[in-house]
Amino acid sequence: MSSKERPTLGGTRIKPRKRNIAAPLDPAAFADAVVQIYLDNAGDLVLFTGGRTQPGTTKPDEGERHSYSIIDCEPKRDAILPSVIYIQKILRRRPFLIKNLENVTRRFMQSLELFEENERKKLAIFTALAFSQKLSGLPPETVFQPLLKDNLVGKGLVLSFITDFFKEYLIDNSLDDLIAILKRGKMEDNLLDFFPSAKRSPEGFSEHFTLNMAVYYWSYKEGLIPLVEYNEKKIYEVKVKDMKSALTTQIAEEAEISEVIENVKQRVRDAKLPDTEAVRILWDVLMDAVQWSGKNQQQNANSALRQVKTWAQLLNAFCTNGKLELELMYKVQMQCYEDAKLMKLFPEIVRSLYDQDVLAEDTVLFWFRKGTNSKGRYGFQFLGHRHHEIKQVLL
């Protein structure tokens, strides 16, 4: 045998390797098999509709119904709560279903228009109870964000759903709990987004939850009045923040005093800001705009006094009576008491405000005689050693 020839085994049959034969795809059979797996395990697959949904997430019209069907039960919390508790137990044993619940909930929120009004109410009650029971797999953004589809909002479906949700949730939980959920869902500042554009206003919000008693007779009893007050407060805070921002910009740009005054007055009217609050805000913004020095007290004093002199006309436009002038004095006093860099500036600031006609003689004298705020007064006693002569007081 040649050295190049390779030995072979005689009489051996080499079996051909079996190839993977692809079976025809059968989606229906696959779906039936998956459902059967869950049914064999005590029905752990809990469906909102009681059965497999048709295309478009619509409920089935025929077929065997699951015993825990939210859509088929009565629109009452006592009827829906067992389903919530059941789902909670299933998720504890099979955490891998948590993501499924989240995905299903998102699809249902996006498909509200495919359900009847009574069915949407059941979904709202279920969602509220799920949050009350702290059901796993249901983060607030999964519920609130999918609702913000223009067609759902425009038809008023979202407003109806969210109203039922608020009503049900506040039965067992406080307003603070509701606000916490809205914050996690990034909706605490955007409650008006649930309203159709024609009703999207603070007045529309208040009317919907308080004035329409024929429809929402429970609003006073079950906590929606505080929700209205909360929303009004948030709108107020946003307007105040916008006013501060606009004023800061105008100060930095050294805008005309008359223009700044008109801008502030308009924003005060829009926000329905109390005059005393407006005075406090003006002072805070003016002082925040000062370029402070880290350790140079004299430089800080010069900067603060320069700011007062520059914007005295603005302060004067809003300190229109003795009460408001006194409010400004208290505000300056507290800041000088609490801020180390301004600790010794109170007498000089008051003197500058008086010289610029922002503070009247009677206001300064009243502050010294009857001022109720005592913080820091011990350092300013020399301001009033002679009441009969204001010039002597300010020396």
pLDDT digits (tens, 9 = 90+) for 155-197: 999 999 999 999 889 888 888 899 999 999 989 888 899 999 9
Mean pLDDT of 11-18: 59
Among candidate residues 314, 310, 312, the one with its CA nearest the CA of residue 258: 314
CB 143 within 8 A of CB 125: no
Task: Give residue 102's pLDDT band: very low, low, confident or very high (50, 70, 90).
Answer: confident
Q: Is the dihedral of CA 126, 132, 133, 135 positive or negative?
A: positive
CB atoms within 10 A of CB 40: 9
Q: What is the DSSP string of 306-333?
A: HHHHHTHHHHHHH--SHHHHHHHHHHHH
What integer is the mean pLDDT of 52-68? 50
Tell me the three state secondary structure of residue 25.
coil
User: Which residue has better confidence, 217 or 172?
Assistant: 172
Of the chain, the percentage scoring pLDDT greater than 90 comes to 34
Q: In one letter, which amino acid is 36? A: Q
Burial class (CB in 10 A: 0-12, 13-18, 19+), 129: buried
Angle among Cα 370, 372, 378 to the nearest 5 degrees reads: 85
Which pLDDT score, from 0 to 100, does residue 56 have? Answer: 44
State how far the Cα of 329 lies from the Cα of 316, in Å rounded to an integer: 13
The residue among 226, 232, 221 whose CA lies nearest residue 191 is 232
Checking if the pLDDT of 229 tops 90, the result is no
Euclidean distance between CA atoms 111 and 321, whole angstroms: 58
Query: What are the DSSP E strand ranges found in 64-189?
Result: none
Output the pLDDT for position 347.
86
pLDDT band at 15 (very low <50, low <70, confident <90, very high): low
Assess contact for 135 and 143: CB atoms under 8 A.
no
Concatenating the DSSP letter of every residue in 121-139 gives HHHHHHHHHHHHTT-TT--
Prediction pTM value: 0.64
Confidence of residue 215 (pLDDT cuts 50, 70, 90): very low
Q: What is the pLDDT of residues 274-304, one digit of tens each?
A: 999 999 999 999 999 988 876 778 888 888 8
Quick one: pLDDT at residue 34? 53
Could you tell me if 367 and 329 are in contact, meaning their C-beta atoms sit under 8 angstroms apart? Answer: yes
| The residue to which tokens 């006609």 are assigned | 357
- Give start and end residues of each alpha helix (H) in 339-395: 346-355, 361-370, 390-393
pLDDT for res 128: 93
Predicted local distance difference test score (pLDDT) of residue 195: 93
Sign of CA dihedral 181, 184, 186, 189: positive
Q: What is the C-alpha separation between 102 and 377, in angstroms, rounded?
A: 60
What is the rounded distance in angstroms from the CA atom of residue 14 to the CA atom of residue 338? 95
Q: Pick the more confident residue, 137 or 208.
A: 208
